[in-house]
Amino acid sequence: MERKNLLYEGTNKRVYETDDPALVIVEYKDDAIAHNGAKKGTITGKGVINNRITNVLMQMLEEQDIPTHFVAQHSEREAVVRRARMIPLKVTVRNVVAGSLSTRVGLPEGTRLKSTILEYRYKNDALGDPLINRYHAFALEICTREELDVMDRYAFRANAILRTFLAQIGIELVDFKMEFGRLPEGSIVLADEISPDTSRLWDMRTGEKLDKDRFRRDLGGAEDAYQEVFRRIVSNIK
Ligand code: 5GP
């Protein structure tokens, strides 16, 4: 598999064409942004860790009947994934109050939720990814009802699988964000990444944050936290 033209470059990743039109190579960078681009920086080693964590978790989900774009790890920082047309939605699952939900409803971070919350944001940098509901998604033709039902099902199922797995390694899955794409024949796959960049992971014993909030909130120690999550995941997989 050879890397060809650069198709897309974002803050966290570059996507390259390959000699197979159905496959692309994703390269994970160490760059990080927060607060919709107002804060910029680097988390050294993040690209390698996020690539490996995402690949392990995607494989785990795939084995439990959630279709993903993942094909194979290509290098330390790269993965081969199926080419998909991305749906401009951020699907967030929440198990515990944190982040923007805490601000929106005025409850302290760490408040337990009686049931799991699913949220949608319309992915649009210029608008700051506004929160929308399912009626907006259909009316704005972001996706069909059938597609959203499939994404909801995959999101709840992924949450159950990941929450159970992470609890076994002493990590509480507070919330996480997913993005989905359409394969050429139209079926929905889980795409993008699942990593400490896109989730809130709290140490179950100490409550310590082991995710991107360390960078967003200038808490320090982001590199060590990402390494710790990686170490625990890998030691439990092999
Ligand atoms: P919140 O809405 O509280 O800011 O984020 C909820 C969850 O989704 C967090 O785990 C957060 O990391 C993830 N998330 C939502 N939007 C983004 C985004 O644009 N970038 C990243 N890295 N994570 C996001």
Residue of 92, 94, 200 with the most ligand 1 atoms within 8 Å of its CB, for mutation = 92
Using pLDDT thresholds of 50, 70 and 90, give the confidence band for residue 185: very high
Rounded CA gap, 95 and 173, in Å?
7
Residue 115: Cβ within 10 Å count:
5
Pocket of ligand 1 contains residue 214 by CB under 6 Å: no
Residue 211 contacts residue 196 (beta carbons within 8 Å)? yes
Pocket of ligand 1 contains residue 209 by CB under 6 Å: no
pLDDT at position 236, please? 87
Pocket of ligand 1 contains residue 202 by CB under 6 Å: no
213 alpha carbon – ligand 1 mean position (Å): 9
**Mean pLDDT, range 136-145, rounded to an integer:** 98
Rounded CA gap, 108 and 96, in Å?
10
pLDDT at position 238, please? 58
The tens digit of pLDDT for each residue in 81-135 reads 999 999 999 999 999 999 999 999 999 999 999 999 999 999 999 999 999 999 9
**Mean pLDDT, range 38-65, rounded to an integer:** 97
Rounded CA gap, 64 and 158, in Å?
9
Residue 148: Cβ within 10 Å count:
20
Residue 202: Cβ within 10 Å count:
22
Residue 179 contacts residue 86 (beta carbons within 8 Å)? yes
Using pLDDT thresholds of 50, 70 and 90, give the confidence band for residue 1: confident
Phi then psi for 179, rounded to 5 degrees?
-130, 145
81 is written with which tokens?
Answer: 């994934």
Q: Helices marked H in 79-144 — which ranges?
A: 99-105, 134-139
